[in-house]
A and B are shown apart, each in its own frame.
Chain A
Amino acid sequence: MDRMRRREFLKRAGIGVGALAASQALPRVFLPGAYAQATGTLTYGMAGGFDTLDVTATTFTRVGRIALHIIDPLVWSTGSGQYSPGLATSWTVSPDATVYTFKMRDDVKFHDGTPLTAEAVKVTFDRIVDPATRAQTAFSFIGPYDRSEVVDKYTVRVRFKSPNASFLNGASSPYLGIISPTAVQKYGQDFGRVVFVGTGPFMLQSYRTDAEVRLIRNPNYTWGAPSFNHQGRAYLQSIVYRIVPEESTRLATLETGETLFIEDVPVTDYQRLKSSRDKVLLEIRQAGSGWSLMMNQGRAPTDDLAVRRAVMHAIDKEGLVRTVWNSVYKAACSPLTPNMLGFDATTCTKVPYNPDQARRLLDEAGWRVGPDGIRVKGSERLRLEFYLQTTPQKNIEMASFIQANAKQVGIDVNLNVIARAGYLDAVRQGRHNFQFWWDTGTDPGQMLRILFHSRNAGGGTNRNNYRNPEMDRLIEQIDATADPTRRKEIIARAQQKAIDDAVMVYLADPPSLYAHDRSVSGVWVDWGGNYPYFFNTRVQR
């Protein structure tokens, strides 16, 4: 009897669970679009997590992408070296580029109700240089900041210790976006972790670490920048940034409608998306410094100019972009990408792929081919240590390609693929001959300083350990020259010098690849390709 009842119970329970499962699953079977978005919400598939939402303190470009909607920059960058009003309606720059005076809008309020005044600009900028903030990206954008002076309620003067001709570029980045002084004071260490308050068209609704960031429309927003031709509120009700690190999954979410917009589209899906009828591929040439190879001059044998020149001639860049990047990336010419102010197109013909020339250079420098095909000079073998991180996988593919190219001219390249901690340790200490570099940014002076200034050698970002007084002088002149024509000339000279001194090998210039559903319209992306902005965006049902 007891057994019978139990069996009956299990049978009924089974039917119940089955019915429940079916009732939940059936709508998915018959309505495959059930997971699509409600009109007015844009769901964005983001390629990874980040440290903090505090745009002043972060080191992640992704945070800049989100924060650009929560803050407003002082100025907007509309092209290389071109700026239009943001929170600042007008500005003046002193002839020596050490003093900038901004006239602010007087009709702007932060999300917490605090009115925007010149004081807020001062608080934001002072906070960037405060060691307690541990600012990184913002710290390099603000450059040799000295102090801000409140001239009147809506006028602020920003002073620099040395000329900083690129400050408008920094001021146009999200990292120098103006934040609420009231909120900073109220929330202290929690600012950026649980709250983030700016003046932008969207407000932070919630943030779940490693999962998603939700923004909702700022109902009071009436101060859209003139360049967007849109003075009222944003069209979208909300934006949801979902973190989907795995690239094929991210693409799947776009296909299923779980996301409407994704970043970092894999090059393998480039062609498919480009010819897709219901998806749109956005391809913007990235500004900054493309993928390149740093050659450490502080360690033999890359301290030998002939070896570095030979490496430059030995690498088949066209073959590399075709093999590794499906020709979506383009062969690079210079430390700057072609869309940067002052890019010198003559650099593209200066170092052609020529293995014979590479062999000749090595022969002349006394590197003779040994019995195993690898060159030797006295007792020294031409072996180069290449340090790289375990991800992204494409790095390893590029490194293997370079290794094969180098072997053809008698150079033995040893790949050391290690985790981030060990890698940074090795390259900061200069144990490498080769390492990869890639950086995004819109200011050529800043890019060249990071790569070539002697102050960044010896453990910094100049892991070429290249120290040259003339190059230092050129970089400082770039930062001190406000006149664009003159600036371009100096930038071109710096590029020529970097190639003459065989400092690095420039490999591939990447595009920024985004994709969105065809129902999404009105996406704006900055000319540097880094910041998709959804103020003018609509989602059609």
Chain B
Amino acid sequence: MLQFVVRRLLLAIPTMVAASVLVFLMLHLVPGDPAIIFFGDQPVTPERLELVRRQMGLHRPLVVQYVDFVRGIPRGDLGRSIHNRTPVLEELRLRVGSSAALALAAFVVAVGLGLSLGLISALWRGKWADAGAMLIALGGVSMPIFWLASMLIFVFSLKLGWFPATGFGGWDRLVLPAVALGFISSATLARLVRSSVLEVLLQPFVTTARSKGLREAIVIRRHVLKNAFIAVITVMGLQFGTLLSGAVITETVFARPGVGKLLVDAISNKDFPVVQGAVLFIALVYIIINLLVDLSYAYLDPRIRFE
């Protein structure tokens, strides 16, 4: 087990290198000079433009720029933003807390709602409960998050005054963004839970369990859910990564700082060090989540062993 974890963590290194190289190359292939973006619509002489380009270190060969970036990583130095010269690590540190709080809260909503809807719909297949649960899930899949977020603000903040419309810090400021983000993610999960549970329900071992005279609740909990969860938990893990790094619209509507927004802004400014740092962080999050997901398989299915 320990060996498995160590091996997986070591394998993470080439994955992260590959991710950062890819992002680095793609950023340089896309048109747009960071120095020109820096000046935007401000008047600037060609000499001054060149000076800033040099200050940003863009005159150096690409390989040198990349190697410099990689060299700093062991020291915890991800470089400085070429736009505002803030250390990248600090840029990330300032936003990770807010993003993580939102991702966790949204994850709780997504999992709670997704599992409940999926189970209800699978166990009462073909009944009105199934139709109702899947209708809600369909709503979640097809509803633009921008609209849902605005509606939540309108109803719960503007009309009822229950929650503040924006900001961070304090659980009350987390409720609306977490519900918006979580509801959208729960839809996929609900549909997946439904199909997985239905598939397991048809397996011979479920029939065996029932024929042994076990109560239906135990059959569902011990035999059906545990087996159905193998597929579900993989998606749940990936969804957590997306909630942490891809909540740009939710962050914008509810005025919360976040890693997703940082990355999008950095890409549009072609702020290479920030993009690289953020991508590295996100890659690390996904690697850890995948590792946890893999480890959870052994718990859910004792036949799986990490050799």
- A residues touching B (Cβ–Cβ < 8 Å)? 24-25, 28-29, 32-35, 49, 51-52, 59, 131-132, 134, 136-137, 140, 189, 193, 208-212, 242-246, 248-249, 252-253, 255-256, 258, 419-422, 424-425, 428, 437, 439, 449-450, 455-456, 459-461
Contacts and interface: CB of A to CB of B under 8 A. Distances in A.
Contact of A242 (B41, B150, B166, B253): B166
Nearest to A28: B162
B257 interface: yes
Contacts of B94: 208-210
Nearest to A137: B42
Contacts of A24: 171-172
A59 B48 CA distance: 15
Given A136-B42, A243-B255, A420 B262 contact: no
11 contacts: A34-B161, A59-B42, A140-B43, A209-B91, A209-B94, A211-B255, A246-B252, A249-B255, A256-B157, A256-B161, A422-B31
Given A134-B52, A252-B157, A422-B31, A193 B86 contact: yes
A256 B43 contact: no
Given A249-B253, A461-B41, A425 B33 contact: yes
B165 A51 contact: no
Interface in B97-149: 98
A425 B32 contact: yes
A59 B158 CA distance: 34
Interface residues of B, number: 56
A40 B31 CA distance: 49
B162 A25 contact: yes
B76 to A, nearest CB: 18
A242 B161 contact: no
Contacts, number: 138
Contacts of A245: 252, 255
Contact of A244 (B84, B163, B166, B270): B166
Given A49-B265, A52-B84, A140-B43, 12 more contacts: A51-B83, A51-B84, A131-B51, A132-B55, A136-B39, A209-B91, A209-B94, A248-B150, A249-B153, A256-B165, A258-B165, A425-B36
Given A193-B86, A210-B261, A460-B44, A428 B36 contact: yes
B217 to A, nearest CB: 10
A460 B48 CA distance: 12
B14 interface: no
B43 A28 contact: no
Nearest to B256: A211
Of all A-B residue pairs in the complex, the 7 with the closest CB atoms, nearest first, are A421-B32, A32-B161, A210-B257, A244-B255, A51-B84, A252-B165, A211-B257
Nearest to A189: B85
Interface in B34-77: 36-46, 48, 51-52, 55
Contacts of B255: 211, 242-246, 249, 253
B168 interface: yes
A397 B161 CA distance: 35
A49 B262 CA distance: 11
Contact of B31 (A28, A421, A455, A460): A421
Nearest to A389: B268
Contact of B257 (A131, A136, A209): A209
